[in-house]
Amino acid sequence: MSLEPAALLDALRSAVGPAQVLTDPDLRASYESDWTRRWQGEAAAVVRPGSTEEVAAVFRACVAAGAVVVPQGGNTGLVGGSVPRAVSWKPQVVLSTLRLRDLEEVDPLAGEVTVGAGVTLAALHAHAGAAGYGFGVDLAARDSATVGGMIATNAGGIHVLRHGMMRAQLVGIEAVLADGTVLRRLPGLVKDNTGYNLASLLAGSEGTLAVVTRARLRLTPLLARRVVALLGIANSSDAVELAGELQRKLPSLSAVELFFDDGLQLVLEHAGGEPPFREVHPAYLLVEAEAAEDPTHALAAVVQAAGDLVRDAVLASDQAGRERLWRLRERHTEAISALGVAHKLDVGLPAAALAAFVGAVRQRVERVAPGSRTFIYGHACEGNLHLGIIGPPPDDETVDDAVLRLTIEMGGTVSAEHGIGIAKTAWLEADRGAADVAAMRAIKSALDPHGILNPGVLFALS
């Protein structure tokens, strides 16, 4: 049964209140285009529920009207999953979680906290910090990325080597299924083997199985001392060797980020700042260690012992110095985006294949898209490389196909942390195989039988 558009809007207004139903094109605009500017679509409405019950009411209204739902948090996702599709035969309702911002008291005994899905990562870090705790996931989009979006994409970020991804921080969840059913398992029992772990299943589901409304998260000790080192290195095979040494020898290690000189120069051009070294190095590792006691000497000792693997090093333990070094890595995304709409790849490779991949992928890109600019950077200890390729027009996916097929050939994954979205659906089966995709589709049709949740994400629309 499908309601007239006007009836859908009336039903949405009675679900969340008229003020929380945006239909004016100007008011909808920021919700309809993604962060990379590569994907946009038109919403029949943007709705902003203020409670779990209102989310359920929105679903009931959409099912009655034959509309589809696009869940949205901070809209910092990079694979086109958080904005309306460019083409849709059904009215698309963007369901923004930004009003689900409860921050419950931190539970000091358990070292856990329950928060609303619309809470930003920065607000979560501040809330946990005020209670003397840290949170295991951090990423450069912290001011906008939300807890719900980070669960839905199983976000990784810069501390995965120490704390794991978003799924590893989850000890409970509340979510609303497409028929308005509310799933709630929030008590936060770390050991809870009572059947399928629905929180784990929803982590990485990209808004295709349910809308996460609250989450119970494990917190980490707030460590007082941090030091950051920027290491000038010769190439990516030295980077892999050094990353392994750091992991083996430095228990306080919390981040190892790889980037190359072309990216460094681009960031300096884009954001200003002094070059970190007098001479240019082909590649760089940004290394962070954090501990209760100052880890500077321990880090310096590992760097010293690395001998020729390290061509030059600069360390900073003061906040300003650390931020100055981090900026060289964290500003990559924005500096590349300032050059134009980039082809963004987010691949994961086995450690043994990483260096070979870096060489091979540059050749492959040059072959299929001569003259493009390829910036490579990422999380070295997880083999997670990000490629920002400027050159081919946004809708020419020749270069994406070349990179992703090389990744699969080398035993890697076509999406290490950003998800599939609509950007990578064409390569899902080549990566996961028909059996896995069939099992995922079976789960999808069980939980969202009418296919109203984020159609086109994960599975291409047939």
Binding residues for ligand S2G (CB under 6 A): 78, 140, 332-333, 344, 346, 386, 388
Q: How far apart are CA 362 and CA 369, in angstroms?
A: 10
The contact mask relative to ligand FAD for 432-461 (x = CB under 6 A, - = no) is ----------------------x--x----
Q: Determine, following the binding rule CB under 6 A, whether residue 263 of this chain makes contact with ligand FAD.
A: no
Q: Which of 8, 155, 170, 447 binds ligand FAD (CB under 6 A)?
A: 155
- Could you tell me the smallest distance in angstroms from the CB atom of residue 344 to ligand S2G? 5
What is the residue type of 268?
A: L
Residue 326, φ and ψ in degrees, nearest 5:
-60, -35
Instruction: Name the β-bridge partners of 348.
Output: 384, 413
Q: How far apart are CA 231 and CA 252, in angstroms?
A: 17
Q: Which does 386 bind (CB under 5 to 8 A by kind): ligand S2G, ligand FAD, none?
A: ligand S2G
CB-closest chain residue to ligand FAD? 149
- 3-class secondary structure, 291: strand
Closest CA to 163 of 197, 187, 139: 139
Q: Determine, following the binding rule CB under 6 A, whether residue 150 of this chain makes contact with ligand FAD.
A: yes
Instruction: Name the β-bridge partners of 40.
Output: 33
Q: Which of 49, 157, 263, 295 binds ligand FAD (CB under 6 A)?
A: 157
Q: Which of 20, 52, 92, 153 binds ligand FAD (CB under 6 A)?
A: 153
Q: Determine, following the binding rule CB under 6 A, whether residue 374 of this chain makes contact with ligand FAD.
A: no
Q: Which does 415 bind (CB under 5 to 8 A by kind): ligand S2G, ligand FAD, none?
A: none
Q: Which does 344 bind (CB under 5 to 8 A by kind): ligand FAD, ligand S2G, none?
A: ligand S2G
Sign for the pseudo-dihedral over CA of 237, 240, 244, 249: positive
The alpha-helical segments, DSSP class H, found in 277-340 are 296-305, 319-330, 332-337
- 3-class secondary structure, 85: coil
Closest CA to 382 of 255, 201, 213, 251: 255
Q: Which of 57, 68, 123, 141 binds ligand FAD (CB under 6 A)?
A: 141
Q: Which CB atom, from 52 or from 296, has the smaller least distance to ligand FAD?
A: 52
Q: How far apart are CA 234 and CA 138, in angstroms?
A: 28
Q: Determine, following the binding rule CB under 6 A, whether residue 91 of this chain makes contact with ligand FAD.
A: no
Q: Which CB atom, from 127 or from 332, has the smaller least distance to ligand S2G?
A: 332
- Could you tell me the smallest distance in angstroms from the CB atom of residue 333 to ligand FAD? 4
Q: Determine, following the binding rule CB under 6 A, whether residue 73 of this chain makes contact with ligand FAD.
A: yes
Contact 271, 335 (CB under 8 A): yes
Residues 130/131/136/139 CA torsion (nearest 10 deg): -10
Q: Determine, following the binding rule CB under 6 A, whether residue 288 of this chain makes contact with ligand FAD.
A: no
Q: Which CB atom, from 346 or from 448, has the smaller least distance to ligand S2G?
A: 346
Q: Which CB atom, from 144 or from 235, has the smaller least distance to ligand FAD?
A: 144
- Could you tell me the smallest distance in angstroms from the CB atom of residue 231 to ligand S2G? 18
Other CB atoms within a 10 A radius of the CB of residue 434 amount to: 8
Q: Determine, following the binding rule CB under 6 A, whether residue 152 of this chain makes contact with ligand FAD.
A: yes
In order of 191, 271, 327, 348, the CA distances from 407 in angstroms are 36, 31, 28, 8
Upper half-sphere CA count for residue 292 (Cβ side, 13 Å):
4
Binding site for ligand FAD (CB under 6 A): 35, 70-78, 81-82, 97, 117, 139-141, 144-146, 148-150, 152-153, 155-157, 206-207, 211-212, 333, 417-418, 454, 457
